[in-house]
Amino acid sequence: MLKDELIANNPLGVFKKAANGNDAPPRMGLVISRPGLGKTAILVQIALDNMLHDRQVMHISVGQNIGKTKSWYDDIMADIATGASQEEIMAVKDEISRNRMIMTFNAATFNRPKLEERLNDLIQQDIFKPVCLVIDGLDFAKIDRRLLEDMRDMQRASKLSIWFSAVIHRETPGEIADLDLFDTVLSLDPDDQGDGKIFLNTIKDSTGCVEEGKIMRLDPTSMVVWG
Amino acid sequence: MKRDLEKVRNIGISAHIDSGKTTLTERILFYTDKIHAIHEVRGKDGVGATMDSMELEKERGITIQSAATYCNWDGYDVNIIDTPGHVDFTIEVERALRVLDGAVLILCSVGGVQSQSITVNRQMTRYKVPRIVFINKCDRTGANPDRVTGQIREKLKLNAVPMQIPIGLEGDLVGVVDLVKMRAIYYEGDNGEIIREDDIPVELQAQADEKREELLDAASMFSDDLMESILDGGDVPTDLIMSAVRRGTLALEMVPVFIGSAYKNKGVQALLDSVISYLPAPKEIENIALDLNNNEEEKVLSNDPDAPLVCLAFKLEDGRYGQLTYVRTYQGTLQKGDVIINNRTGKKVKIGRLVRMHSNEMEEIDVAGPGDIVALFGVDCASGDTFTSADICMSMSSMHVPAPVISLAIKPVDNKTSDNMSKALNRFTKEDPTFRTFVDHETGDTIVSGMGELHLEVYIERMKREYDAEVVAGAPQVAYRETITKKAEFNYTHKKQTGGSGQFGRVGGYMEPLEEGEYEFVDKIVGGVIPREFISSCDKGFTASLNKGALAGFPVTGVRCVINDGASHSVDSSDVAFQLAAKGAFKEGYFKAGPVLMEPIMKVVVEGPTEFQGGIMGSINQRRGMIIGTLEEGDYTVIESEVPLSEMFGYSTVLRSLTQGKAEFTMEFARYNPVPKGIVDDVIAEIKKRRDKK
Ligand SMILES: Nc1nc2c(ncn2[C@@H]2O[C@H](COP(=O)(O)OP(=O)(O)O)[C@@H](O)[C@H]2O)c(=O)[nH]1
């Protein structure tokens, strides 16, 4: 079945199981890169992996609208399901789209109390129970450490996984001062040879799923991780 | 005479109900010197505005049909295409949007951006229609054009740039400051027809300077020359500003905002000037047709009067002048006496009279070129048909027709009415492909179906008014459908031997899901096991079976029936025998083919204050809805969702009480989905119960 295939083929699935075979604990994750390399695509692939497992994901987009965010999912789905018939793709999409809710904020209005209020609202009314949040588009240069600490407290208390994306402008991840708040940090790096290849580099993982330094490859046009 | 295509504007005027579309249109026609008295929309003198020629529209104050009215302003031919504002008339809105090149979006200075404006704006964006905004009713208490401009940016996501500021607001409104010319413009005389230009009043100078600065900032994004001129300091030439604004507007990256009061005759002439200055001429817009000889390949039309003709019949009107067909020409020339082809039916049509519709008279003309909008007499066609010259075969619209989602039974009150009712139905179904009708053979009821409750209500009213056909309507029902999910074989023999000649026919083959379309019949019979003359009988038998699915009695769609085997009898086989055999075969295959019940799913967008977000989401969730996403801006939230239509009856009342009337929603058809397994039995039982009651 297409769904099982998609689950099996997702290289980002490595973050599900620790080396000792236990299920990985929920984490604070971060994907960093220079602009335009495909951070959103990585977050979407992480989200899709959850959705395919029937786990609900809240996609929080700061600054991008619902339609655009939704089309990221449609595009990535089409790319990872190459070879499947349109009908099959539609069927899987129908099935898993219930596992996703998109919440968009503009930068100024995003904060922990508001997010928590929304989440509690959804959970209490039994509308939506995410196990994973992906938060895309937060400007790390403008937010202060307090917000990230807040988010980490919330993550620890709620046992959700939260994945962020952040833009860096220089080659070095040192630009982001708050790496210590994250369990896992991935960085997207263009190939030095300048031949358009992009790598996904595991800079840090304290959950024991992936060895630090593990490198995965990305298809530079679809931004899908190959493995 | 060669027409100057630069000097044509085809525009739509679009608005939320009651924003003043009718009033503004009336004023425009007055100033363009075509009507000589201004009537109020619901005026005491009993004479209605000219555009709303239909009685019903007048009564409801909404404009349903997209009539086109010609007028002339400053040497320019202006065609005003009336765009219906309600979502229930989506097909008409979309057709109107194909015909117009630019639009004026009217907003009320007090009400601001309301739900219909959001929907129409979305459609305009989809069809890439450049637009300008007119903030009307600036004479009303509470008028606040600045606030409305803010809403245009926030809610419509448009780069709104004020081109004017008001001189006096509310009751004191006397004119506007033109921020391009930096002059004050006053509208005087009984009907605002006397325009007086003056210096900007001192007390407004500072505000005008500030707003002018903003305008220049915004416009300079679209013109390096303007940017340079601003940097150089000194006077910035007016035409540089105007051409930059025009460029931004045509690129859909900027929306100039004008203000005024249609009712108090303020600012209408300036708006007309702006239509000329900032909205596109036909040749500035790319129009695409599908080449039917070439796999529906997209072709850009040329605007060349000497190219082969392509024109679109976008509206039929059965009115005071007899039967009129409104067409827009995209390329080539339409000439009296020409023979053109209707590409849907393949029929040839000879053009008799060609007229241009003014607001209250018509003008006979001989030719119509690219970009022209004219009416033809006595042409038999349906709305949306494309006509071309004989050497090409193109269609403007593969524009797919959405399936009706709601239906109700209608009964004429007496026999005399029955005739009129069929006449009306015949007309309406031609005008509007989303409006359909059929007779339910079991109950004998006539069923009409369409895109929403209001859609059907309007047609029922029109039957009464225009055709004197009063009908009793049943309660609206969701238009469920049935379809199959897998391939299944059939092999059915129909045999009857009673007295005289018998009946015999055997039909073998299979049915399978059809990805696109409603029904397909494939004949794979070899060796004449079913004689030629009875092949179409099989087709008829299947088609008849489609009307009422065996699952719950709803129409079956998305089925391909293939026959590849059969048998006949030299005496006992007949048309009827094979029809019955095919019906039997269909029934046999149907239950093996995994039939499912499908329900219409609507895209529902709710907007309101953020404090109600939780409650609104709860209400959607309770209705089997799926929340796609939320958008939060300040204390204002938009919630996008998909909800089955069957759950949406009465939602406006629920939403109102949930949010103290502060939230609004829009709804449009998204697609058909299978009814979830868990509830399908309940739904079917409910439907059957309702049927039995009747
Ligand atoms: N105060 C004020 N009332 C207006 C203005 N324009 C229209 N109206 C009134 O608003 C109501 C609705 O106008 P109408 O033109 O029928 O709106 P439509 O539904 O958009 O066609 C009518 O009573 C008009 O007289 C205006 O500029 N100022």
- Residue ranges per domain, chain B? 5-284, 288-396, 406-478, 485-594, 599-693
User: Does residue B170's CB lie within 6 angstroms of at least one atom of ligand 1?
Assistant: no
- The reported pLDDT for the residue numbered B86 is 54
Which residue's CA lies nearest to atom 14 of ligand 1? B20
Give contacts of A103 with chain B, Cβ < 8 Å.
629-630, 632
The dihedral formed by the CA atoms of B452, B458, B461 and B462, expressed in degrees to the nearest 10: -130
For residue B204, give the nearest of B218, B231, B186, B228 by alpha carbon. Answer: B186
What HEC string does chain A produce?
CHHHHHHHCCHHHHHCECCCCCECCCCEEEEEECCCCCHHHHHHHHHHHHHHCCCEEEEEEECCCHHHHHHHHHHHHHHHCCCCCHHHHHHHHHHHHCCEEEEEECHHHCCHHHHHHHHHHHHHCCCCCEEEEEEECCCCCCCCHHHHHHHHHHHHHHCCEEEEEEECCCCCHHHCCCHHHCCEEEEEEECCCCCCCEEEEEEEECCCCCCCCCEEEECCCCCCECC
- The reported pLDDT for the residue numbered B91 is 66
CB of A186 within 8 A of CB of A42? Answer: yes
pLDDT in tens, B433-480: 788 898 877 677 888 988 877 788 888 888 888 888 888 888 888 889
B612, exposed or middle or buried, with CB in 10 Å at 0-12, 13-18, 19+?
buried
A28, exposed or middle or buried, with CB in 10 Å at 0-12, 13-18, 19+?
buried
For residue B25, give the nearest of B60, B71, B65, B64 by alpha carbon. Answer: B71
Any residues with CB less than 8 A from the CB of B213 and at least 6 apart, and which? Answer: none
Token pair in block for residue B112: 């601001």
The type of residue at B674 is P
User: Does residue B108's CB lie within 6 angstroms of at least one atom of ligand 1?
Assistant: no
Question: How, if at all, do strands B102-108 and B164-167 pair?
Answer: unpaired
Question: How, if at all, do strands B76-82 and A184-190 pair?
Answer: unpaired
CB-nearest to B614 from A101, A109, A121 is A121
Whole-angstrom distance, CA of residue B406 vs CA of residue B668: 12
How many residue pairs bridge chain A and chain B with CB atoms within 8 Å of each other? 54
Whole-angstrom distance, CA of residue B58 vs CA of residue B39: 13
User: Does residue B291's CB lie within 6 angstroms of at least one atom of ligand 1?
Assistant: no
3-state helix, strand, coil in chain B (%, to 5): 30, 30, 35
Residue whose tokens read 């015909």: B99
Lowest mean pLDDT among A37-46, A64-73, B482-491, B492-501: B492-501
- Give the 3-state secondary structure of residue B469: coil
Q: Which CATH class is domain B288-396?
A: mainly beta
- Give the 3-state secondary structure of residue B580: helix
- The reported pLDDT for the residue numbered B440 is 76
Which residues face B637 on adjacent strands? B608, B632
Whole-angstrom distance, CA of residue B405 vs CA of residue B599: 8
Whole-angstrom distance, CA of residue B278 vs CA of residue B103: 10
Please give the helix or strand (H or E) that residue B386 lies within, else none.
strand B386-388
Please give the helix or strand (H or E) that residue B509 lies within, else none.
strand B503-513
* Overall pTM > 0.90: no
- Strands of the sheet with B322-331, listed across from one edge: B348-350, B339-342, B386-388, B310-319, B322-331, B373-377, B354-357, B362-365
Whole-angstrom distance, CA of residue B283 vs CA of residue B278: 14
The domain tally of chain A equals 1
pLDDT beneath 50, residues of chain B: 1, 34-66, 87, 399
pLDDT: which is higher, A63 or B681? B681
Mean pLDDT of A60-76: 88
Encode B93-131: b = buried (16+ Cβ within 10 Å), e = exposed.
bbbbbbbbbbbbbbbbbbbbbbbbbbbbbbbbeeeebbb
- Per-residue DSSP letters for B390-434? TT--EES---PPPPP-EEEEEEESSHHHHHHHHHHHHHHHHH-TT
Question: How, if at all, do strands B373-377 and B354-357 pair?
Answer: antiparallel
Give contacts of B515 with chain A, Cβ < 8 Å.
86-87
CB of B394 within 8 A of CB of B374? Answer: no
Token pair in block for residue B325: 């067909």
Mean pLDDT of A11-25: 76
- Give the 3-state secondary structure of residue B499: coil
Whole-angstrom distance, CA of residue A208 vs CA of residue B203: 70
User: Does residue B23's CB lie within 6 angstroms of at least one atom of ligand 1?
Assistant: yes
CB of B434 within 8 A of CB of B476? Answer: no
Any residues with CB less than 8 A from the CB of A122 and at least 6 apart, and which? Answer: A101, A128, A129, B614, B617
Whole-angstrom distance, CA of residue B548 vs CA of residue B554: 5
Distance B147 CA to ligand 1 centre (A): 20
CB hemisphere CA count around B151 (13 angstroms): 22
Q: Which domain does A161 fall in, by range?
A: 2-226
Which CATH number, 3.30.70.240, 3.60.10.10, 3.50.50.60, 3.90.1150.10, labels domain B599-693?
3.30.70.240
Token pair in block for residue B254: 């900027």
End-to-end CA distance of chain A: 21
Contact with chain A for residue B154, Cβ under 8 A: no
Any residues with CB less than 8 A from the CB of B481 and at least 6 apart, and which? Answer: B403, B549, B554, B555, B556, B557, B597, B598, B672
For residue B343, give the nearest of B299, B270, B290, B300 by alpha carbon. Answer: B290
Residue whose tokens read 């009821």: B445
User: Does residue B83's CB lie within 6 angstroms of at least one atom of ligand 1?
Assistant: no
Q: Tell me which chain A residue has its CA closest to the CA of residue B614.
A: A121
Distances B268 to A119, B13, B27, B232 between C-alpha atoms, Å: 49, 13, 7, 34
Whole-angstrom distance, CA of residue B567 vs CA of residue B610: 69
Q: Could you say which architecture CATH assigns to the domain B406-478?
A: 2-Layer Sandwich (3.30)
User: Could you tell me the fold of the domain covering B485-594?
Assistant: Ribosomal Protein S5; domain 2 (3.30.230)
User: Does residue B378's CB lie within 6 angstroms of at least one atom of ligand 1?
Assistant: no
For residue B452, give the nearest of B641, B635, B648 by alpha carbon. Answer: B648
Which residues face B472 on adjacent strands? B411
**Nearest-5° Cα angle at B224, B221 to B227:** 70
For residue B450, give the nearest of B278, B630, B600 by alpha carbon. Answer: B600
- Ligand 1 atom closest to B41 (CA): 16
Give contacts of B636 with chain A, Cβ < 8 Å.
none
Question: How, if at all, do strands B477-478 and B406-412 pair?
Answer: antiparallel
Residue of B14, B18, B174 to mutate, ligand 1, most atoms within 8 A of C-beta: B18
Token pair in block for residue B37: 């008295």
CB hemisphere CA count around B334 (13 angstroms): 33
Give contacts of A127 with chain B, Cβ < 8 Å.
617-618, 621, 627
Distance B324 CA to ligand 1 centre (A): 29
Does A125 sit within 8 Å of B632, measured CB to CB? no
Please give the helix or strand (H or E) that residue B633 lies within, else none.
strand B626-633
CB of B506 within 8 A of CB of B563? Answer: no
Whole-angstrom distance, CA of residue B504 vs CA of residue B567: 8
The CATH number for A175's domain is 3.40.50.300
Q: Which CATH class is domain B5-284?
A: alpha beta
Compute and round to an integer the Cα radius of gyration of chain B: 29
pLDDT in tens, A145-170: 899 999 999 999 988 999 999 988 76
The dihedral formed by the CA atoms of A39, A42, A47 and A52, expressed in degrees to the nearest 10: 160
Give contacts of B618 with chain A, Cβ < 8 Å.
125, 127
**Nearest-5° Cα angle at B463, B44 to B343:** 115
The dihedral through the CA atoms of A68, A72, A73, A75 has a sign that is positive
Please give the helix or strand (H or E) that residue B176 lies within, else none.
strand B175-178
% of residues, chain A, pLDDT over 90: 31
CB-nearest to B628 from A86, A102, A106 is A102
